[in-house]
Each structure stands twice: as structure tokens, then as C-alpha cells.
Amino acid sequence: MFTTLPEAFRKFDLAVDVRALLLLQRAMDKGLVRTIGDLFNVLRTFIIKDPEHMGPYTKAFYAYFLDINIRPNDRLNDAILRSQTFEQWKETSFGRMEDDITPDEWVNRFLDQVHLTHYDIKEVLDGRKLWDKDNGNLEDNPEANNDETPNRPLDQMADYSDLTLEELMQRMEEVKGHQQSEHSGGSHWIGTGGISPYGHGGAAKDGIRVGGSGGGKMARKVLGDSNFFPVDLDAILNDNNIDAALASLKGIVEETAQETLDVKETIDKGLERGGLFIPEIKNDTIDKLQVLLIIDNGGYSMHPYIKSVQTLFRKMKTRFAHDLETYYFHNTVYRQVFSDSQRRKPLPIERILSKDPNYHVFFIGDAAMAPYELDRASLNTYSEIKEHFKKVAWLNPEPVRYWNGTLSTQIIKELLPMYPLTPKGIEQAVLEMNRKK
């Protein structure tokens, strides 16, 4: 986890090594990291050795975890205001309400939520008691919802861990059938910023997150169902549905077991044996994700999709911090790809084929080209890639109804599993890849 963090933080002249990652993992195992604010505070204790490192640390943290880049001589507020992360937070948390608030006040609200720690929770409420008192058939009357306080601080948390997922889902269906308006800060409706077991941006342990970017990172389940998630999952990838696609991509994380020497166990058992030390081996389970992204960025027809694709996989890399390599081609892959978007730095296909076969390979392209371009060398390349990597998918931005209209698309579709470049298409590709584990 966070394997690229040391390199990213070293760019800000911070001495970060594997030891910091091990300490962070230990803190997470002990339940000390539940929110982004917790992560900021805990990681800071491992990295900052001098007060003068606080500025670089903040810049590194915001860039790595929040995709907020603070330029030289730049105000923090200005960097936040121009970031996509801030815009998405403002939209999902407040919509178009309270437009009279000054930009600096917006930033203060954003920072308050980003730096919220689970220590700020003053009271943990029994979710079962709240549940038993609640009525799923309550009629939606916004004026009567006195328990709602929009945008209130998250000083309470409701713990719904005693409820089954089936109970939560059934009650949410009942609530959804009666809900007619937006709600915020409450405990009953599907809304934002409250302690309701369904919604986002609130504090409900083991609840169900519906849309949004999350609050305290406590949700048991995240819904992608179009009945709940306000995004068209069948639409071609765009700025509005990238987070839904990101949720699908997260499903390709694999668990791998690695044998390591258990030093403590070896010493303890050795002392019990009167000084006979025999190495004790343990299996450490770690998350592993390796992705090769190969994008067709040469043709005019692909231009509308390049930015969205790059944004999607960049977010994947910063949020899940695993091994992602991006290459480029024009129309089709022959015996080389390119390591730069200008396609000036060729890389022989043999270099790709020498990589770990556990990589997930995503081709992004419309697969439409003149018949003569898809020659024997190209067909052999696709066959070799599929044979070597096993988990390969072609994501096509063209609507499915047009695929049979192009001979090259039909041929490639026979060679490689092809899916539409939509959140639902990406989810289908990931599900199929997981079946091949």
C-alpha cells in the first residue's frame, strides 16, 4: 500500500523510506487511521523531524492524496480553489447552495472536513437504537425534519455494525420510495453530512455510501446502482462519471501472500527452547495492483476521450498507489509502443512482454482503421500480449452499436475481450479479469 509515496514525498526534499510505510501500516492495523485527517496526523509524526519540514510535508500530502498542487509562491487557498478535488467536494457536499459565501470561507469548510479526525467525534451513538426508533415509511416533509442541521460538524457518529447489510438495504429501499427532496445533516433520509446509515459525507460506521466521495471512510458498502448513484453508468467516460469508473477499477486489487521472517516469534520461541533459535516464517498478505495502460492517442476520433482516460488512471494511481505504467500508440500496435504521449520514445514490444504476467492490461482505442493497417505483425502482437498477460481488456469509446460497422473493430474484438469505455463497461472488464485469477 502507498508504495509510490516515498518517491513522491522525496520530490519535496522529505526523507521518506520504507520504514515510514511500515509504521503507517502498523498504525492502520491498530485502527488509528480512519479518516484523511487521521492519515495526515499519523504520517506527519513519522516524517517530520524539524518544524521547517511542515510546509513541504503539507504540499506533498495535498499533492499525493488530494491531487492539489501548490505552486511556488502560491497561496494554499488559491491552490485549493483551482483544484478539481475542491470543486467535486463543493458540488457533492453543497450543490449550488450558499453562493454568497466567500471563497476563503469555502476553503475553510473544505479544510475542516479534510482534516477531520476520528478523535473529533465526541459521541458514538448506538445505530441499532436509532434504527429501532426510525420508521422506513416516514413521509418526506422537509419542514418537519427538525433533526437536520445542514453542514454541521461531524461531532457524532452512529455505529450500525450490529445491523446486517440485508437489513440496511431493505430499509433504504423503503426510505427511497418516500424521499422526494434533498436532505443534509439528518439521521433518516438518503442524504449528506449526517448520521443516516445511507448517504455520503457523514459519520455512519458500517453504513452504505451512496454517491459522493465519502466522509469518515467508514462505509460498509458503496453503491454503484444507477437507481441510487446519480451518474449515467452507460455514458462514455467523462468528468461526471470518472469516480464511478474509479470505484470499478478498485476491484482489480489483488491480495498476494509473501513469506517473511517473524523476528519476534523467532526470539520468543528460541528463548522458550533454551537458546535454540529456529526461524519462524509468517505469511504477510498485501494488496498488489499492476496495470499497463496502452492508449491510442494518434487519431482525431480519440481526442475527446484522452483527457478523461488519463484523469481516471491518474486518480487510480494517486488514490490506490500501485504500479501503473502508461504507453501510447496510433491506430494499432505493431512491434513497439511509445513511452511518451508525443510518440517520440519507442519501446520494443519485447520489453512489454518481459514484464510480470500478473499485470492487468487495458487498451484504450476505437479500434477503427483502414484494413491494411491491421497487418500480420499487429495481429501477432495482440496474440502474444493476450497469451503472456492473460488479463487483457480493450476499452472502446465508440458506442457498441457501431462496432460491427468497422472490419478492424470486429477483428480486434475476436482477438481481445472488448468492452465499452463506460463505468459499467469497465466494471464488466474487471469482473472478467477477476474470474481469471
Does residue 365 lie within any of the structural domains?
A: yes
Domains of the chain: total: 4
410 and 300 within one domain: yes
86, 118, 150 - which closes a domain: 118
Q: Which domain holds residue 23?
A: 5-118
| Residue 47 within a domain | yes
Q: What is the pLDDT of residue 378?
A: 94
Output 334-340 pairs: Cβ under 8 A, ≥24 positions apart.
Answer: 334/375, 334/377, 334/378, 334/381, 335/377, 335/381, 337/294
Q: Which residues of the chain have pLDDT under 50?
A: 96-97, 150-151, 212-218, 220-231, 254-258, 285-287, 320-321
Please check whether residue 246 lies inside any domain of the structure. Answer: no
Question: Could you tell me if 306 and 430 lie in one domain?
Answer: yes
Examine the domain organization and report whether 406 and 302 are in the same domain: yes
The answer to whether residue 52 is domain-embedded is yes
Contact, 205 vs 158, CB < 8 A?
A: yes
303-332 confidence digits (pLDDT tens): 777 777 777 766 666 554 456 788 889 889
Asked if residue 346 and residue 271 are part of one domain, the reply reads no
Q: Is residue 393 one of the residues assigned to a domain?
A: yes
Same domain for 221 and 273? no
Residues 401 and 311 in one domain: yes
Q: What CATH number is given to the structural domain containing 304?
A: 3.40.50.2300
Show which of 52, 87, 118 is a domain's final residue.
118
- pTM score, two decimals? 0.45
Report CA Rg, the chain: 25
The residue behind cell 473493430 is 409
Cα separation of 374 and 363, whole Å? 15
Give me the pLDDT at residue 409, please.
93
Instruction: Identify whether 153 is part of a domain.
Output: yes
Q: What confidence score (pLDDT) does residue 178 get?
A: 78
Co-location of 113 and 127 in the same domain: no
Q: Are 318 and 210 part of one and the same domain? A: no
**288 phi/psi in degrees, rounded to 5:** -135, 130
CA distance from start to end of the chain = 20
Q: Quick one: 266 and 301 in the same domain?
A: no
- 154 within domain boundaries: yes
Domain identity same for 223 and 129:
yes
pLDDT at position 77, please? Answer: 79
Residues 293 and 277 in one domain: no
Q: Are residues 304 and 429 in the same domain?
A: yes
412 located within any domain: yes
Q: Residue 229's pLDDT is what?
A: 34
* Residue where a domain terminates, one of 266, 285, 304: 285
